């Protein structure tokens, strides 16, 4: 089977779905690999490097797609490329199936099998395929670097002839993969770090990284399926906001990472909280694309309100494309190994505990129950 890897077309996207090491792995599995010319350039991978790994280079997306039985991408290709895919083609990429119903319907109508990287289940066996987690690691790291760049202060403590400068204080809201990486990075840069999450089980992980865990007198807990946070009750949410409001006053940096799959991001920082912060403080809202955790966030923009810089960055993993692509490529190659046999034959088993949940469309049907429910609302 021919596998096509297309050049990403989304604005600002610098990642590529497959790096040369991934090409070698797929060839070893009995597949052929065609790369659209220039697909890896923004990730510092040249066409000759792909050729050396054994891939064929195609001059355009239509040429790469010709006779392809599988397409690998970071984001779903544009409609024209989807329309050019043959019936039965397997598309593996981030598909945003819970918020992009038009794409889901188009894939089903074209009888394309859509496998969504964001639907990989949170089970131990699937950790090496979990692209959401691998890319969240990049986002958490990058968020701290951006915050440090905007903060008009040092992060670490300095002892100088001019006196001692106290370290900056960072508050991380949400201790999932992105939050934990933000904690680790902020600590490496010398900041004092405080973290909060509605899942008490993460307290030990937070403290193991050298941060303090923000706790309420009354427990605010909401752990959902697969280790994700779930939506709080109205009373729990009020207690959560009170807790954050008490801590945010003394913080120089706030990084928010709280998201609920398929839902708007929860509001964690009100305008009154922003008003209470010191001028020059920085908020990095990693949930900006799903509505934002801060009431004043504008997705993709940097705004200054009440003297506080509020950033709503989008697609942060694209800002570190080399390692983000290497991690994503490993995720996608491992996933492909779940449904490709030793001689390159495809065996899509919907009873497979990874392939089944991550498959959104197959043989003209929307096969994922959560996605079907989202389409009907």
CB 255 within 8 A of CB 182: yes
Confidence of residue 43 (pLDDT cuts 50, 70, 90): very high
Tokens of 110: 């074209």
Same domain, 313 and 339: no
pLDDT > 90? residue 276: yes
Query: What is the dihedral sign for C-alpha 256, 261, 262, 263?
Result: negative
Same domain, 258 and 195: yes
Helices (H), the chain: 20-28, 47-53, 61-65, 79-83, 101-109, 131-150, 177-188, 203-208, 234-248, 271-276, 321-336, 355-358, 369-376
Cα 374 from chain centroid (whole Å):
20
Q: Which whole number is the average pLDDT over 85-113?
A: 96
Q: Which whole number is the average pLDDT over 59-87?
A: 96
Q: How many domains does the chain contain in total?
A: 2
Same domain, 12 and 112: yes
Tell me, what CATH number does 295's domain have?
A: 3.40.50.720
Same domain, 170 and 255: yes
> Partners of 302 in the beta sheet?
311
CA angle 289, 295, 301 (to 5 degrees): 50
3-class state of residue 355 by DSSP: helix
pLDDT tens for each residue of 47-72? 999 999 999 999 999 999 999 999 99
Mean residue pLDDT across the chain: 94
Q: Which whole number is the average pLDDT over 253-261?
A: 93
Q: Is residue 134 part of a domain?
A: no
Q: Is residue 164 part of a domain?
A: yes
Same domain, 259 and 286: yes
Same domain, 310 and 336: no
Same domain, 240 and 117: no
Same domain, 117 and 222: no
Same domain, 211 and 162: yes
Residue 344 CB-half CA count within 13 A: 13
Confidence of residue 342 (pLDDT cuts 50, 70, 90): confident
In which residue are the tokens 């990730």 written? Answer: 43
Same domain, 173 and 90: no
Q: Is residue 373 part of a domain?
A: no
Q: Is residue 151 part of a domain?
A: yes
pLDDT > 90? residue 127: yes
pLDDT tens for each residue of 188-246? 999 999 999 988 889 999 999 999 999 876 555 555 555 555 566 788 888 999 999 99
Same domain, 171 and 267: yes
Q: H/E/C letters for each residue in 214-278? A: CCCCCCCCCECHHHCECCCCHHHHHHHHHHHHHHHCCCCEEEECCCCCCCCCCCCECHHHHHHCC
Strand order in the sheet with 2-5: 56-58, 32-36, 2-5, 70-75, 90-94, 113-116, 359-362, 365-366
- % of the chain surpassing 70 pLDDT: 96
pLDDT at 224: 52
Confidence of residue 18 (pLDDT cuts 50, 70, 90): very high
Q: Is residue 58 part of a domain?
A: yes
Give the domain range for residue 337. 2-129+321-366
> Partners of 5 in the beta sheet?
35, 72
Taking the whole predicted model, whether its pTM rises above 0.85 is answered as: yes
Q: Is residue 376 part of a domain?
A: no
Q: Is residue 377 part of a domain?
A: no
The whole-angstrom separation of Cα 21 and Cα 50 is 9
Crossing angle (nearest 10°) for helices 131-150 and 321-336: 170
pLDDT at 278: 97
> Partners of 212 in the beta sheet?
194
Label the pairing between strands 282-285 and 308-311. Answer: parallel
pLDDT at 217: 61
Same domain, 116 and 257: no
**How far separated are the first and last CA of the chain, in Å rounded?**
37
Tokens of 234: 């109205």
Closest by CA to 326, choosing from 27, 6, 57, 45, is 45
Active-site positions?
Answer: 122, 127, 130, 133, 228
Tokens of 3: 């596998």
pLDDT at 28: 95
Q: Is residue 241 part of a domain?
A: yes
pLDDT > 90? residue 262: no
């Amino acid at each position: 089977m021919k596998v096509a890897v297309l050049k990403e077309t989304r604005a600002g996207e610098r990642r590529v779905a497959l790096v040369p090491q991934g090409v070698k792995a797929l060839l070893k599995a009995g597949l052929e690999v065609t790369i659209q010319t220039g697909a890896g350039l923004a990730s510092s991978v040249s066409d000759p490097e792909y050729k050396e790994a054994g891939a064929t280079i195609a001059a355009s997306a239509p040429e790469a797609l010709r006779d392809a039985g599988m397409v690998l991408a970071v984001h779903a290709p544009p409609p024209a490329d989807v329309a050019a895919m043959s019936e039965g083609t397997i598309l593996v990429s981030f598909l945003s199936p819970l918020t992009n119903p038009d794409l889901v319907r188009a894939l089903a109508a074209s009888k394309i099998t859509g496998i969504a990287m964001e639907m990989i289940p949170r089970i131990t066996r699937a950790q090496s395929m979990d692209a959401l987690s691998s890319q969240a690691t990049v986002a958490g790291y990058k968020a701290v670097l951006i915050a440090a760049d905007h903060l008009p202060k040092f992060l670490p403590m300095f002892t100088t002839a001019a006196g001692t400068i106290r370290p900056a204080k960072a508050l991380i809201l949400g201790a999932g993969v992105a939050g934990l990486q933000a904690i680790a990075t902020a600590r490496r840069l010398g900041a004092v770090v405080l973290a909060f999450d509605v899942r008490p089980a993460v307290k030990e992980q937070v403290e193991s990284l050298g941060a303090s865990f923000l706790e309420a007198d009354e427990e605010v807990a909401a752990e959902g399926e697969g280790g994700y946070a779930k939506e709080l009750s109205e009373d729990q949410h009020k207690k959560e906001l009170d807790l954050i409001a008490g801590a945010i006053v003394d913080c120089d940096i706030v990084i928010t990472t709280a998201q609920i799959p398929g839902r708007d991001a929860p509001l964690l920082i009100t305008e009154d909280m922003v008003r209470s912060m010191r001028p020059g403080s920085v908020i990095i809202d990693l949930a900006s694309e799903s509505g934002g955790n801060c009431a004043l966030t504008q997705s993709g923009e940097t705004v200054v309100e009440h003297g506080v810089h509020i950033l709503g960055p989008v697609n942060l993993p694209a800002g570190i494309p080399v390692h983000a692509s290497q991690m994503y490529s490993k995720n996608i190659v491992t996933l492909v190994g779940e449904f490709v046999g030793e001689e390159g034959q495809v065996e899509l088993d919907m009873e497979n505990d990874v392939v089944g949940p991550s498959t959104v469309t197959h043989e003209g049907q929307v096969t994922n129950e959560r996605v079907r429910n989202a389409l009907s609302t």
